[in-house]
Chains A and B, each alone.
Chain A
Amino acid sequence: MNTNVTIAGVTFQNPVMTASGTFASGLEYSEFVDLNRLGAVVTKGVASVPWPGNPTPRVAETYGGMLNAIGLQNPGVDVFLERDLPYLKQFDTRVIVNVCGHSLEEYLDVVNKLADADVDMLEINVSCPNVREGGIAFGQDPKALFTVTEAVKKAAAQPVIMKLSPNVTDIKEMARAAEEAGADAISLINTFTAMKIDIDKRRFVLANKTGGLSGPAIKPIAVRMVYEAAHAVKIPVIGMGGIATAEDAIEFIMAGATAVAVGAMNFHDPAVTIKVAEGIEAFMQSRNIPDLDSIRGCV
């Protein structure tokens, strides 16, 4: 039995990754999870300079999910390279750096600074709905997505994953734009723009008014979008959105995903990523599935 998956020539020991922004750069979760057993750690979004993020409250629970409006707080690429990346490189896992920016220049600044770094892949966040200028224009307009993908691909030393926003009418069109511009893979879904109101205080719960919805509440929509995207393009798809169990992950793989990422459920169980990875292995064993290729996109 073989749980390996390969994306753009990079082989992962299993298909389970961490979803960007839910796992920082691994340090905090390393107390709960053996990082050596993850397919990859996908870092929190990294920008060209430190970003302070949004005012609080930044998070709110909703039925079977949560809203976040962190506002992409991060210490910037220089500290990432000095402090966070060397920490992660101690482990036998792949490192995917999630990149965010307010403009094409900012994305390219980060991508250029990462060119000499020992990083396996880049994931470009063009879809974070939190910051007014946080890439929303790129992620919601196929032409802008094409432009940023093409420019990033030209500058990048590593294979490029474009992370798509679900806040679009037709996800297939966005997936194709990324593929045509040369993306090596796509990942989806990022969070849905959402809102929660405190009816006693008659106020928005989040200081930012809106936040991104994630967690099990969004899973069925995520599975549908991954299915549509995977059937629209030939490049590999990394699926995410509400994954809590190995069974959830297998749904995404059967919908066509090559790998999967676990996000908000890390907050419900800090060891969930390992449980998902072990559960996939147990599922394969119990059903005599030799490798994940034999079930990928089987529906």
Chain B
Amino acid sequence: MTKEMQTANVIRQECIADGIYSMWIATSIANTAVPGQFISVYINDASKLLPRPISICETGEDRLRIVYRIAGEGTRQLASYHSGDPVTILGPLGNGFPLSDEDAILIGGGIGIPPMLSLAKALTGKKEIVLGYRSELFLQDELASCGNVSVATEDGSSGTSGTVMDVLQTGTVSGKVIYACGPLPMLRAVKQYALDHNIPAWISMEERMACGIGACLGCVCASTEQDPHSLVFNKRVCKDGPVFNAKEVDLT
């Protein structure tokens, strides 16, 4: 018995883009968390049984930050919290990104951008950071202080018109290892890009979760090889992931 769910307090919360919120929480979870891990956020409403998995965006001493999009009722309620309000959380959960000191390409798509901030702060090598948005930008200034940022927007309002892949195709970005978090089609394209360029890629996956700790087998993703825990071709995103070597997972 070493872990427990905790009632932490909101330090502050702000809306940083349309429907996107940034919340700092006072918690000791921050002191052991590594980039790429997530927390389970429990909604203060018994009709909402399941925890919401949210990536750790950034940590400080005894505090961590999450950046999230209002996607439904749970995140809507979270967005209403103010300084001092209690928030029930569990973590840190999942494995996190393996850190390398080589030149890295960090790729974040939409609400997959937040975990890239703590990663960018932890990586010591040269960093090319490629960010994809629908339209409105967020976190790009903070990421720009960690490396060279390129932006793509679907509506062409900033940077390259299109997706992160359109930035990569221009050939202006290079590195020896890729880290990526974003929607599945993006991860699929990143995996292909990594295979074509023969560089390792670490991708952070998303799946519907129930327990968040590896017990219910709700959150699996297909693996290319038989998993030693399950003895079948799948892995638990919450426990064995959310970060996987792109070669380990079958994204088809």
Contact = CB atoms under 8 A, between A and B. Distances in A.
B87 to A, nearest CB: 15
A75 B214 CA distance: 14
Nearest to A73: B217
13 contacts: A22-B215, A24-B216, A24-B217, A56-B219, A58-B217, A59-B210, A63-B47, A70-B217, A73-B234, A75-B232, A79-B231, A216-B46, A267-B49
B207 A56 contact: yes
A31 B2 contact: yes
A246 to B, nearest CB: 15
Interface string B32-43: 000000000010
A63 B42 CA distance: 15
A73 B215 contact: no
A interface residue count range (under 10 / 10 to 19 / 20 to 34 / 35 or more): 35 or more
A51 B231 CA distance: 8
Interface in A30-86: 30-34, 44, 50-53, 56-61, 63-66, 68, 70, 73, 75-76, 79
In the complex, which of the residues A23, A34, A58, A66 has the most CB atoms of chain B within 10 Å of its own CB atom? A58
Contact of B50 (A44, A66, A70, A271): A66
A264 interface: yes
A271 B4 CA distance: 8
Contacts of A31: 1-3, 213
Contacts of A58: 208, 217-220
Given A64-B46, A270-B213, A56 B3 contact: no
A29 B215 contact: yes
B193 interface: no
Contact of B3 (A23, A32, A70, A215): A32
A195 to B, nearest CB: 16
B52 to A, nearest CB: 10
Contacts of B51: 267-268
Contacts of B47: 63-64
A190 to B, nearest CB: 15
In the complex, which of the residues A22, A57, A59 has the most CB atoms of chain B within 10 Å of its own CB atom? A59
B208 A60 contact: yes
In the complex, which of the residues B207, B210, B229, B234 has the most CB atoms of chain A within 10 Å of its own CB atom? B210
A183 B18 CA distance: 60
B217 A268 contact: no
A116 interface: no
Nearest to B73: A61
A197 B130 CA distance: 35
Interface of B: 1-5, 42, 46-51, 90, 207-221, 229-234, 239
Nearest to A32: B3
Given A24-B214, A29-B213, A66-B210, A50 B5 contact: no
Interface string A249-291: 0000000000000001111111100000000000000000000
Contacts of A56: 207-208, 218-221
Contact of B1 (A32, A44, A70): A32
A115 B6 CA distance: 42
A71 B178 CA distance: 34
Nearest to B237: A56
B1 A28 contact: no
A108 interface: no
A60 B5 CA distance: 22
Contacts of A23: 215
A1 to B, nearest CB: 25
B240 to A, nearest CB: 12
A297 interface: no
Nearest to B212: A267
B4 to A, nearest CB: 6
In the complex, which of the residues A31, A61, A266 has the most CB atoms of chain B within 10 Å of its own CB atom? A61
Contacts of A22: 211, 215-216
Nearest to B1: A34
Contacts of B49: 61, 64-66, 215-216, 264-265, 267-268
Contacts of A63: 47
A82 to B, nearest CB: 11
Contacts of A266: 211, 215
Contacts of B5: 32, 269-271
A142 interface: no
B206 to A, nearest CB: 11
Contacts of A268: 42, 46, 49-51
